[in-house]
Amino acid sequence: MSYKVLYRKYRPDNFDDVIGQKYVVEILKNSIKEGHIAHAYLFSGPRGTGKTSMARILAKSLNCLDNKEGKACEKCNNCISFLSNPDIIEIDAASNNGVEEIRELINNVKIMPSSLKYKVYIIDEVHMLSQSAFNALLLTLEEPPEHVIFILATTNIESVPITILSRCQKFDFRRIDDDDIVNRLKFICEKENISYEEDGLREIAILSDGGLRDALSILDQISKNGEVITLELVSQEVGSISNKKIDDLIKSIDKKDLENFNKIFDEFYNNNLNYKVIIKKLIYSLSDISIKILNDESNWNLSFDDCKNMIFELNDLINKINININAYLLIKILLLNYFKKKNVPIEASNYGKNVELKSEKKLEIDGKKDIDFNRKNTFVNFNNNLKNINEDFINRRINNCFVNASKNNLLSIQKIWSEFIKKIDVAQIKGLISDTQVVTASDSYAILITTINHQEIELNQNIDNIEKSFNNFFNKEYKLIFLNEEKWNIEKKKYINNLQKKYKYEFISEDIEENNDSEDEMTTIANNLFAKDKIEIE
């Protein structure tokens, strides 16, 4: 018999086995018991917290022939055949996110269940559906046949349209407490005859960041050699760090012991420890120390303000770390700051700050030397006015970029954008754009991609602020649009498929009011995005 990984072997299959979601379990059990069954549910929360498992448990309980107190009996024919029953349809929206897949689903909804009381559609990662797919789903989701129930799950509820949210009963799944994860790990270790020390299991719980699936994956990874699960083993195998080391590091700052500080940091670097875990544990430890300082229970030289400032600066650092910069160096420099001074006040913000950008070179746009980096540039105030970006707006900008796209413009804007990222000192903008790159440019438009999942949403919401800052730096009006890598790859495939069609691209006004025209019209716009010899294909 083939080996089954722990998170699959111990996946909960009834409400009593669900860990850390008591609130959700009680509401669902009571609603089934009282017959208050909704036609659509939406489960949202971090990964590994039980959303998909809960969806399956709910589907089984709804179809149980001998439902007791809102729970499946596990003995009737419907419960026994549940896992292989064709009336339970699971869809991964990450790989089936097009309007055609949703149209097929809608057509099948009308068919009665073959054996169960309800035909249940479980759509995982529903936020990955395209806008057209969401639009196609709307009416069916609002008024499905009585024999159909939808259960949607997502790790990114911000990307789910409000029109979908308003048609569902929404349940928020929280990160699972470390104590609950440790207790579950103990149970599984005893079942699997895995030797452990509690410190080792607690370290796994900390590393999993509230996700039981991640905790089981780590346990599975380090238990295969038959070794005792200790704190040292977890640190060695997963790249974790002991709380004692963190305390020693903070004590070296407190005592201004630079030699010990460097020794500990060299150990972090040589063992390739996860910098996010280092930051997280530093924040937790500093938080405990700050409380002791306020209660006069310690002899720390560090003040409460020192601890507070370090906590906020470390938290801010996570958002600023660029994948091309050594994270250990940034953390080290931040902490070294507290060797030379105390009570460093936190500045309210540097947003809207005037920044002088200097450079000795000029860049060309199609042969015109009009970009001079020696001049002063003033950045606009970064505000909280977010732009509402829809699919139509994105398609228009992509289309308009390709009207006059050229390789010269692409190369020039890539250089300017790189310089812009280096020079800008507005923290919130720099944090957003640090992982972006230009992939297409015309004389007045540019398309950029981000390597971070879902960050294109926040980038496009803040596009007005980013454009104003970039245009002040560039000294020319440029319009931008941000895509994720998946969207860009789709556009490149469309380009390749349409090379022989010789479309002539026409400028589309961005002032036209938003409308909900048919998907076919949107497809026509999307198919007309690319022109032969207009863009470099990488």
Q: What is the DSSP string of 174-195?
A: PPPPHHHHHHHHHHHHHHHT--
Query: How much is the average pLDDT of 405-409?
Result: 85
pLDDT band for 182, please (50, 70, 90 cuts).
very high
Residue 355 has pLDDT above 60, yes or no: no
Distance separating alpha carbons of residues 488 and 526, to the nearest angstrom: 12
Specify the residue for token string 């000294």: 475
How do residues 97-156 score in pLDDT, each as one tens digit? Answer: 778 888 888 888 888 988 888 999 999 989 888 888 888 888 888 888 889 999 999 988
Query: How much is the average pLDDT of 167-194?
Result: 91
Q: Is residue 350 part of a domain?
A: no
Q: Is residue 489 part of a domain?
A: yes
The DSSP string of 370-396 is EEETTS---PPPP-S------HHHHHH
- Say if strands 169-172 and 479-484 run parallel, antiparallel, or are unpaired: unpaired
Give the tokens for residue 507. Answer: 């400028």
Question: How many separate domains does the chain show?
Answer: 4
Q: Is residue 63 part of a domain?
A: yes
Three-state SS for 513? coil
State whether the Cα torsion 78-82-85-91 is positive or negative.
Answer: positive
Do 258 and 222 fall into the same domain?
Answer: no
Query: How much is the average pLDDT of 421-449?
Result: 83
Do 78 and 139 fall into the same domain?
Answer: yes
Three-state SS for 124? strand
Q: Is residue 286 part of a domain?
A: yes
Q: Which of 216, 238, 260 represents a domain boundary (last residue)?
A: 238
pLDDT band for 240, please (50, 70, 90 cuts).
low
Q: Is residue 534 part of a domain?
A: no
The DSSP string of 132-174 is HHHHHHHHHHHS--TTEEEEEEES-GGGS-HHHHTTSEEEEPP
Do 508 and 372 fall into the same domain?
Answer: yes
Q: Which of 126, 142, 172 represents a domain boundary (last residue)?
A: 172
How do residues 26-36 score in pLDDT, each as one tens digit? Answer: 999 899 988 88
Distance separating alpha carbons of residues 434 and 325, to the nearest angstrom: 11
Q: Which residues contact 272 (CB under 8 A, 6 or more apart)?
A: 239
Distance separating alpha carbons of residues 430 and 320, to the nearest angstrom: 7
**Residue of 486 and 388 predicted with greater confidence:** 486
Do 304 and 380 fall into the same domain?
Answer: no
Are 373 and 419 contacting, i.e. CB atoms less than 8 angstroms apart? yes
Residue 538 has pLDDT above 60, yes or no: no
For residue 87, give its domain range: 6-172
- Percent of the chain scored above 90 by pLDDT? 13
How do residues 503-521 score in pLDDT, each as one tens digit? Answer: 777 888 877 544 444 445 4
Q: What is the value of pTM for the model shown? A: 0.54
Give, as one character, the DSSP assignment of residue 222. Answer: H
